[in-house]
Amino acid sequence: MAYFDSTVTTVPGPRPAGGSATRPGAWLFLREPHRAAAEGARTGAVLFGRDGTLIQDVSCNGDPGAVHPLAGVRAALAALRAAGFAVGVLSTQPGVARCVLRREQVEAVQARTELLLGPVDVWAVCPHGPHDGCDCRPPTTGLVTAAWRALALPPSLVTVVAHGDPLIEAALTAGARAVRVPDSARPPADPCPPCVPAVCRTATGPEHAADLLLHG
């Protein structure tokens, strides 16, 4: 996998020397950029939230051994890839800003996730805290925008699957579609709460979300 630093408003490329103190950018990790863009353009892309949607939510996880996929995720990703969708993952990691998580730990967790779930075309990571003034921390739109621009796709061909309001709101505000799944930490008997904003579709889990995208 090739790694690219990028501001959230551009296609992945080297970050300018010194960066921006007031508008730091997202981290982007793009797999074989030209192939990913070409393949994703056929059908579109599905961008999943990471913690609590694809894998178990472990606070500030930098341990690959603590990566455990959630039920139905493998089947969902396999079905989407087979249908020609590019697959991406969106992740906020404020532990980096708090200096309790290093970039190499974030990468190690990503590598373990791919080992268990298959290749991911683009990872978009916000490594900032809530007061860093970044453009990528949901509900701002930069994280979602960075991912689809990296895949050379318009927002109309992008769907975000997540459980949290901030990521759902970021997707919808930026012009993408969204499917909300239940929070993995919520008891199974507790229904998925309404979307905010309440214009996205809801699914019972990753497999159902994939089925909605593939079959309407």
Complete domains list, the chain, with CATH: 2-7+24-215 (3.40.50.1000)
Q: Which amino acid appears at position 21 of this protein? A: A
The token pair at 159 is: 């769907």
CA distance 178 to 199: 8
The string of pLDDT tens digits covering residues 151-201 is 989 999 999 999 999 999 999 999 999 999 998 766 444 445 555 444 689
Q: Residue 135: is its pLDDT beyond 80?
A: yes
**Number of CB atoms found within 10 A of residue 189's CB:** 5
CA distances from 107 to 3, 91, 124, 137 (A): 10, 12, 11, 19
Which of 184, 182, 164, 177 lies closest to 213, judged by CA? 177
Q: Residue 119: is its pLDDT beyond 80?
A: yes
The answer to whether residues 26 and 146 touch, using CB atoms and an 8 Å cutoff, is: yes
Q: Residue 22: is its pLDDT beyond 70?
A: no
The string of pLDDT tens digits covering residues 41-83 is 568 999 999 999 999 999 889 899 999 999 999 999 999 999 9
